[in-house]
Amino acid sequence: MSPRLTPTELMEQLAAGSIVSLNEKTWAAVAGHFRLVEDIDTHMSGRILLVRRPAHGGKRGGWAIVEEPEPRQKVVRPLKNEKEARALMAAYERMWDG
């Protein structure tokens, strides 16, 4: 994904349900638009962040998971609601707890 992706473009893609891949520099530029809810350090595969994404284009704000599939790469995955977000974070925690 281009480092020129704006916060507005990112929010549009997430509101449409798209999973967005970003480089670390682009994530750093847009991360301030998200509210961090939970941070899990996998100690093996980077950090997994549970974030709230802001309202955009008349749509309510939502939830997202930010994963780090490889160094300096982020994937922002929109989620339907808090219940889905919490269930996914619980699954991640169980997976990394061994």
Report yes or no on 27 lying in a domain. Answer: yes
Report yes or no on 36 lying in a domain. Answer: yes
The angle at the Cα of 64, spanning 37 to 69, to the nearest 5 degrees, equals 100
Report yes or no on 1 lying in a domain. Answer: no
Q: What residues contact residue 53 under an 8 Å CB cut-off, 6+ apart? A: 11, 14, 33, 34, 61, 62, 63, 64, 78
> Structurally, how many domains does the chain consist of?
1
Per-residue confidence (pLDDT) for residue 98, from 0 to 100? 57
Report yes or no on 24 lying in a domain. Answer: yes
- pTM of the shown model: 0.84
Averaged pLDDT, 57-74: 86
How far apart are alpha carbons 93 and 96 in whole angstroms? 5
Q: Return the SS3 of 1.
A: coil
Report the chain's mean pLDDT, rounded to a whole number: 86
Contact (CB, 8 A) for 65 and 85: yes
Predicted confidence band of residue 2 (pLDDT cuts 50, 70, 90): very low
Q: What is the pLDDT of residues 17-27, one digit of tens each?
A: 999 999 999 99
Domain span holding position 63: 7-97
Report yes or no on 70 lying in a domain. Answer: yes
Report yes or no on 15 lying in a domain. Answer: yes
